[in-house]
Amino acid sequence: GRTETVTDPKTGQQYTRILESLAVAEATGGTPLARVLQEEGRRFGRHTTLIVVTPSTDAEWTLSLHQLLRQGTRASAVLLDPESFAGAGERPQGAPESASLPIDELLAGNVLTYVIPCRSDIGLMLGPGGLVGDSAPERQKAAAG
């Protein structure tokens, strides 16, 4: 069966639920991320901001994400650096032995992209200092506006 979690924050009260889900989340699902984005895509529209958190190096999911962007969905990607986790003996489940994160594909679609190395300060990494790409601050302003 499917084990991914989709949370729809319709009220501010669900913010705590989202944080609780993220705190205990594990990458145990067998459904490819590209397929999850395709199947759940009908739920997303112009007033949706999607945050994809993944160690996946498979660029196929970025194609599904770009389709959602064309529908008006806003998106950010938080990429867990699988090589840094492997060096710490904590490779995320489903992460390949060695491959590149699909950073170029995401930046080509103007997706705000963050790369999180193992044991880094996630608060700092999800700020402007963690953004990837030369024009990251300009993209962030455009996405916020």
The structure tokens listed for 108 are 């080509």
Poorest-pLDDT segment among 19-23, 96-100, 128-132? 96-100
CA gap 110, 88 in Å, rounded: 31
pLDDT at 86: 73
pLDDT, mean of residues 68-94: 79
Give yes or no for residue 77 having a pLDDT over 50: yes
Output the CA–CA distances (angstroms, integers) from residue 113 to 9, 43, 90, in the order listed: 22, 22, 22
Closest to 29 measured CA to CA, from 62, 49, 56, 48: 56
Report whether 143 contacts 112 (CB < 8 A).
Answer: yes
pLDDT at 145: 42
pLDDT band at residue 13, thresholds of 50, 70 and 90? low
For the chain, give the mean pLDDT.
78
**Residues of the chain with pLDDT > 70: what percent?**
73
